[in-house]
Every structure is written in C-alpha cells, then in structure tokens.
Amino acid sequence: MTDARRLSDATLADLPPGIERPRYDPAATRIGVVHLGPGAFHRAHQAVYLDDLLAEAPEWAVCAVSLRNPDVRDALRPQDGLYTLSLLGETPRLRVIGSIREVLCARDEQAAVLARLAHPDVRLVTLTITEKGYCLAGDGLDLAHPDIVHDLAAPATPVSAIGYIVAGLRARRAAGLKPYTVLSCDNLPDNGGRLRRATLAFARRIDPGLAAWIEAEATFPRSMVDSITPATDEVLRERVAAALGVEDAWPVQREPYAQWVVEDAFCDGRPPFERAGAILSGDIAGHDRAKLRLLNGPHSALAYLGALMDIETVADAMRHPGLATFLERLMREDIAPTLDAPAGFDAQAYVGAILERFRNPAIRHRLAQIAWDGSQKIPVRLLGTLHDALAAGRPIDRLCLPVAAWMHFVRRQARNGVALVDPMADVLADIGRGTTGQAQDDVAAFLRLDAVFGEMAGERRFVDALVVAYAALGRRVERALATDSGRDLR
C-alpha cells in the first residue's frame, strides 16, 4: 500500500462524489479533546458527533490515545487520522470522518501523551476503555490491580487510564491551568461517578493537595452512549476500498441509530454537542441504567444462550423463535419493571425499538464479540436487575438463564481448550476445566468469584434459581428457554 493510494488529507479531495467527507478543513482544526481508547466504538460514535461540529467549533478536534496497542496509531497516522464510517441502513452510506487529528500509542509515546494532556487547548478527556480499563473492584478502585500498583509507585510514568488522567491533572495544576472535564463513555452504571471516585482515590494516595483540587475543580459527567458497532471485517475493508478508490487501513461500521445522553457538567466549556444531536441534561436521570439493562443485558443474554445453540449473529438469534420470544419476555416482563425509569420514558416503546435494532438484517453483529469480557459485563448488565428483582420479591427464573448460560459457555470453552477473551480468563478456565456438569457444584464454583458475584452469592433464592437454570440448560437449551428456567424439568 503506497501512501498515494491511501486515504489521507492529500487524497481527500479526489474521493468519488458519493462519499461524504468533512465539511471543514481538517488541517484548520485545533485539538481540544484527548480520547483514551480509540476502538471502533469511539470512532463510530463520539468522533462522529465531533465531526458534525468541527465546521462551527474547530477547537474540538481529537487526539486519540491507545494506552498499549499500537494498531490504531499504525493504521490511522499514515492517513492523517482519517477513516471511513459505513452506516448500515437500508441504503448504506459511507462517510469519511476527520475529527481525529492526532493518534498516539502511550506505551511508545508517553511524553507526547503527557504533553498533550497538559496542553492549554485541551479541555476535555473522554474515555472508551471498556469495563476492565477502569481497574475497579466492586464500586471502587482496585488498589491491588497490577497497573494501579505500578502507577502509584511511579505516577510520572503511568500505564493505566486513571494514572494518565491524574498525571495530566497534576501537570495542569503545576502549570496554573484549569483541569479538564473527564467524560466516561463506557457502558457502566454511574460511569462518571465511578471514574471520579477512582480518580480521587488514586490522587489521594500520591498527593492529597492534588486530590482536593481535583475534587473542587474537575468534573466527571455521567453519560449514556448507544450505537451498535460490529467489528471491522474484510467485507467492509474491501467494500470501502472499492468505493473510495484508495485504501483505508481501518474503516468502521455501525447502525444508523446513535444516541448520546450527557450530564451537562463540564468544568471548562464543552463542544456544542446538542447541535450534533446529543442530549445534554442536568441529570441523565436513569438513561444509563435503562440502556445498560435493556440493551446490553439482553445482548449478553443472546451472546451466551446463542453460543450454546451455535448461533452466530444477533440477527440470526432474533430469527430463532424460541430465543426471540424468550428475550422479549425477559425485557418486557423481567427487566423493564425493575427500572426506576426517567420521567417521560416509555420502557415498552424503548424495548420495541431495541428489538427492531437487533433484528436489522443489514448488520452482522457476531455474538462472539459480545461474549467477550463476561466477568466484567455480567455484574453491570444482569446482576443489578437480579438484585432489584429479588429485593422486590419478583420472579427471577428467566433472569437466571443468561447467567447460567455464561457459566456453560465458560465451561464449554475451557473444556474445548478455547481461550476466553476476558481479563479473568485464567481463573475462569480453571473453574471451567474443573466443572463436572453437576449443577450444584458447578454453580458453587462460579459463585466463589467474588469480583463477579459479590454478595449475590449469598442470596439463597438466587443460588437455587441459578442451579435450576444451569441444570436445565445442561439438558436442552431450547426446552429451558420455553419453560423460562426449565423448572418443570427437575
């Protein structure tokens, strides 16, 4: 691939007319945002909102920072940060996004990342580092996490996201600058609150004065992000190269639908996000929880139940009558009633819209992608609902099935020698290999994972229902779905 045949500032003007492109001169923008974790989701979501704004607010271009993996930098730097977004609607659209103007890999370019975080033009740090990137244990910072141990011992040369955020804030304070706003865009309940608490816990250990300054001056808004973003595949790369006439090393794709609800709490100004369609709100009022429980929870349910049925994609799963019916009942009858819904929020209409999105035949969203990191996702996506259903004395049989399916999924992968993509992969593989198929014992082995189950492991009604669900799935998945938990199979 020679650079002349590559998407870049220089080849932008020569793209065929049907390809949408920035309505501003990318080179005339200024970097005002540092984004940690520029995976496909960021590039298909927040970077697109900013791309919509740069014509009128050119001071909010992005410096995209991967903490460890150089792949995004290596793909996008030769392209001046440009890449293509494919919108998977009835009429597919291709759009070149120009909001990322600098791409760094912190592992190799630490000084440049720290300098960027301390730059006076930078007023916002955003994150999509996935659940595990926060190094949390329960609700607080995991002080035993190796990256946190490292960063507390060497705060000037961090490796973790929290370490970088604090190092940047420390440099700004020393330079007499204001702090930046730190905006989590990950699927965690109260994402901003969790990040704030973790950041303060870290800062207090290295410099109490700094911690007090962060507490008083910096803000960590909560946000809810939503857009289904299947991983990039060869089909996409080839389609984009054919349409553009130049190579794009890393295009991304997503459904046309996108939503971003952001708590309007920015300590030093913000991009005019609302003009790009984001909802800015005084309090994001339960939107994050509704999305996490009603979209991500069911996604994970499909991933593990579908895996046991050898189904490949979300749309395929939705074509399976037993699974689709089960999922809809789970959402409408079990999850929706536990939500403390925001005012004016119609949970049943929201469910209908999500089911429609899951059925979108234009999207090949692999269940295997969603199945990643189950140990991180299960607690925030499913166990919160289970906890609330238990407290309200509501039925939990159906809700236990996806959790039991995850256990079977881990067992199957471990016994087949297939590596799990999960920060707890080693422990999970040990448990999976040790399982015998005897429901009581197998479930007990998983429940000992305190980081996943916490006090739920001591809830008798939950444990009993989980054992029933696990046993039923071990016999026949479809039968278990039809009877909610297979209770009648006992």
Residue ranges binding ligand CS2 (CB under 6 A):
187, 226-228, 295-296, 299, 369-370
> Residue 202 or residue 358: which is nearer to ligand CS2 going by CB?
358
Minimum separation from the CB atom of position 456 to ligand CS2 (A): 20
Q: Are 45 and 185 in contact (CB under 8 A)?
A: yes
> Residue 158 or residue 297: which is nearer to ligand CS2 going by CB?
297
> Residue 6 or residue 299: which is nearer to ligand CS2 going by CB?
299
Please tell me what DSSP assigns to residue 89: S
How many angstroms separate the CA atoms of 412 and 409, rounded?
5
Task: Give CA 93 to chain center in angstroms.
Answer: 24
Which pair of tokens denotes residue 287?
């939107």
Minimum separation from the CB atom of position 402 to ligand CS2 (A): 12
* CB-facing half-sphere around the CA of 34: CA atoms within 13 A: 29
> Residue 293 or residue 408: which is nearer to ligand CS2 going by CB?
293
> Residue 58 or residue 286: which is nearer to ligand CS2 going by CB?
286
Q: Are 374 and 429 in contact (CB under 8 A)?
A: no
Minimum separation from the CB atom of position 250 to ligand CS2 (A): 18
Residue 270 neighbours by CB under 8 Å, 6+ apart = 123, 124, 181, 264
Minimum separation from the CB atom of position 208 to ligand CS2 (A): 37
Residue 94 neighbours by CB under 8 Å, 6+ apart = 18, 19, 20, 84, 85, 86, 87, 240, 243, 244
State phi, psi for 275 to the nearest 5 degrees: -75, -10
Minimum separation from the CB atom of position 87 to ligand CS2 (A): 15
How many angstroms separate the CA atoms of 391 and 410, rounded?
28
> Residue 187 or residue 360: which is nearer to ligand CS2 going by CB?
187
> Residue 130 or residue 219: which is nearer to ligand CS2 going by CB?
130
> Residue 119 or residue 377: which is nearer to ligand CS2 going by CB?
377
Instruction: Specify the residue for token string 């014509």.
Output: 55
State phi, psi for 31 to the nearest 5 degrees: -80, 120
Q: Hey, is 340 helix, strand or coil?
A: coil
Which pair of tokens denotes residue 383?
């166990």
Minimum separation from the CB atom of position 31 to ligand CS2 (A): 26
How many angstroms separate the CA atoms of 400 and 485, rounded?
7
- Of 236, 106, 253, give the one whose Cα is nearest residue 168: 106
Q: Which residue is nearest to ligand CS2 (CB)?
A: 299
How many angstroms separate the CA atoms of 370 and 345, rounded?
26
Q: Are 187 and 297 in contact (CB under 8 A)?
A: no
> Residue 222 or residue 299: which is nearer to ligand CS2 going by CB?
299
Minimum separation from the CB atom of position 258 to ligand CS2 (A): 8
How many angstroms separate the CA atoms of 480 and 403, rounded?
13
Minimum separation from the CB atom of position 190 to ligand CS2 (A): 16
Minimum separation from the CB atom of position 454 to ligand CS2 (A): 21
